[in-house]
Chains A and B, each alone.
Chain A
Amino acid sequence: MRQRNGYLTAGLILTAFLAALIILGYFWTPYDPSAMAVGPKFDAPSLAHLMGTDNFGRDIFSRVLKGAGTTFAIAIATVAIGAVCGTAVGALTGYFGGVVDEALMRFNDALTAFPSILLALVIISILGPGKKYNVILALGLVFIPSFARVTRTAFASLRDVNYVKSARLMGASRGRILVVHILPNTMSVLLPAITIGFNNAVLAEASMSYLGIGVTPPDASLGYMLSEAQSMLTMAPWYAISTGLVIILLVFGVGLIGEGLQRRGREVA
């Protein structure tokens, strides 16, 4: 009998709740997020304005929904790039091995020694700061090596197990072996890696936008909003606190899912 996995359940509930709010935010927000004077300036949180208002009298809750949407979309796009490219590289190098594998892994070692933010900043300064798609590209590229490393180990360890050998004997093509036979069995390491990647992406995007070189207006992102909020800390502390809490809850929820998945992986093993 499988033990109850509280982390996974709690994480899924929290994340589903936030994701539902964010998706709702794409279609509907209580007020227009950029409309000024929908309420008094620096209004404390109330039923009319769940998270209060800012210096222009804009509704912070609506802005946070929109901003979280941007952050969420960027994180998902980033992880998608990192996971797909990283898994492809990891699968090929792990399964075939050889000189290319050695060379790529040494290169990988050098890259993973760097803090991801620094690498992303270098790429973004080359691509040009302040554009949404450049942020996605920069962060996506940065996350490829870590995914490649995780999947490479998994593919290498499954290269010579019996079911792969028998598939080979039955004349299955290499592509089929990699995708149909090995890939599903790497999920126990790939899924936790995706949750960690998602969290790193959220935090990295927020940091970069906070610094003003990630996403900049008119696209709202939680990181940029925090830098805005910092300047009104004395007048409207709820702006910074509510924006920061949304980031924390998002990362916390997905972190719990990752913890749950890892524990489940250990139980099965």
Chain B
Amino acid sequence: MKYAVKRIAMLLLTMVIVSFLAFAAFDLISGNPAEIMLGTQATPEKVAALEEAMGLNRPFLVRYGEWLIGFFTGDLGTSYSYHQPVWDLIAPKVLVTLCLSVLSFLLIAVISIPLGLRSAGRAGGRLDGLSTALNQLCMAVPPFFTGILLTWVFSTILRWFTHGKFPGLSEDFWGAVKYMLFAAVSIAIPRIAMTGRMMRSTVQAEMQKDYVRTAISRGNDRSSVLYRHVLKNALVPVVTFLAQTMAEIVAGSIVVEQVFAIPGLGRLLVASISNRDYPVVQAIVVILALWVVLAGTVADLINQRIDPRLRLGGGS
């Protein structure tokens, strides 16, 4: 319990640092928003008036504080290019990206953990070298290329889904999930390879330990030792690894949303970077960061449950 409180305090601290950096970076370098918004119609008087209206002439820390409060109350400022409140632009897209990430995550967890366990049992076999090579090959496949191939096969040739026609989540939930499944597969393939490999080497290291030999020498068969004892111990680093995978899923979704024309945060982020629409970029970056840091915290809390030893040392 004490640990959980400490971990959540750390989460908040990280987020304050991250949001501060994001705010400062865009504030320092993005130039004068009033000028950007006015575009070609900018005259010194108009700029000054808009600066006054937007509160740009106040001290940096005051504006950061207001932005931070705004983040929790849903007031993230106004987009330069869409002239709409940023929150209204982002809100419908958060759910889409969230669904895509969860879907990819489930694919990775459900496939890679059993795969890693099984291949660890067969280490050193004749197919071992082949499976390592196959693993390296899967890791080398960029998600957007898989996406393009899947579009070609399943949309152009087989017509299982129509590329570019994403059914809205609220209108046709299962249709949307089916559409996103192809995107999730593209994100998941290299990650499954990495997680499976990680799982495999952890299990192998664990199988060398004394307690495994003891358990086997007392007449337990190998697979029951594997599932009852080794799995639990091997899971801790894998859970941590899966949390890092969440960061990579977020990265993958930025690109893959573009490939499949899925209207999520990633697409908006890319469009906003090209348009130099900083309030939108800032807000999305902080939301994605929050998502990643949250995943790390949850992983740590789960590991506490799996391995009580971590509670004493405070964990790392």
Q: Is the pair B18, A110 in contact by a Cβ cutoff of 8 Å?
A: yes
Given contacts A117-B255, A118-B285, A211-B255, contact A129 B137 (CB under 8 A): no
Identify A114's interface contact among B137, B145, B247, B254, CB under 8 A.
B247
Contact A203 B270 (CB under 8 A): no
CA of A118 to CA of B250, assembled, Å: 8
B289 within 8 A of A: yes
> Distance (Å) between the CB of B149 and the closest chain A CB?
7
B273 near A240: Cβ-Cβ < 8 Å: no
CB distance from A209 to the nearest CB of B (A): 10
Q: Which of B25-33, B105-113, B168-176, B217-225 contacts A (4 or more CB under 8 A)?
A: B25-33
By the criterion CB–CB under 8 Å, are A121 and B269 in contact? Answer: yes
Q: Is A100 an interface residue (CB 8 A)?
A: no
> What band does the interface of chain A fall in when counting residues whose beta carbon is under 8 Å from B?
35 or more
Chain B residues with CB under 8 Å of A115's CB are 247-248, 250-251, 288, 292
A235 to chain B, nearest CB (A): 10
| CB-contacts of A38-67 with B (<8 A) | none
Is residue A233 within 8 Å, beta carbon to beta carbon, of the partner chain? yes
In the bound complex, residues from chain A placing their C-beta under 8 Å from that of B293 are 113
A207 contacts B142, C-beta separation under 8 Å: yes
Q: Tell me the residues in window 233-269 of chain A with beta carbons closer than 8 Å to chain B beta carbons.
A: 233-234, 237, 240-241, 244, 247-252, 255-256, 259
Cβ–Cβ contact A248 & B145, under 8 A = yes
| B37-45, B115-123, B128-136: which lies at the interface | B128-136
Roughly how many angstroms separate A219 CA and B262 CA in the complex, as a whole number? 28
Contact (A226, B296) CB under 8 Å given A210-B255, A213-B274: no
Instruction: Determine whether B215 belongs to the interface, using a CB cutoff of 8 Å to chain A.
Output: no
A248–B148 CA distance with the chains assembled, in angstroms: 14
A237 CA to B14 CA, complexed, in Å: 45
Contacts of A210 in B (CB 8 A): 144, 255, 258
29 contacts between A and B (CB under 8 A): A110-B17, A113-B244, A113-B296, A116-B251, A121-B254, A122-B22, A122-B285, A125-B273, A125-B276, A126-B29, A199-B139, A207-B144, A210-B144, A210-B255, A210-B258, A211-B270, A213-B270, A226-B144, A226-B148, A240-B148, A241-B149, A244-B149, A247-B140, A247-B142, A248-B137, A249-B140, A252-B140, A255-B139, A256-B136
The 10 tightest CB contacts between A and B, nearest first, are: A115-B251, A251-B140, A244-B145, A252-B140, A117-B251, A125-B273, A255-B136, A115-B247, A207-B255, A126-B29
Q: What is the interface of chain A, defined by CB distance below 8 A to chain B?
A: 6-7, 10, 110, 113-118, 121-122, 124-126, 129, 199, 203, 206-207, 210-213, 226, 229-230, 233-234, 237, 240-241, 244, 247-252, 255-256, 259
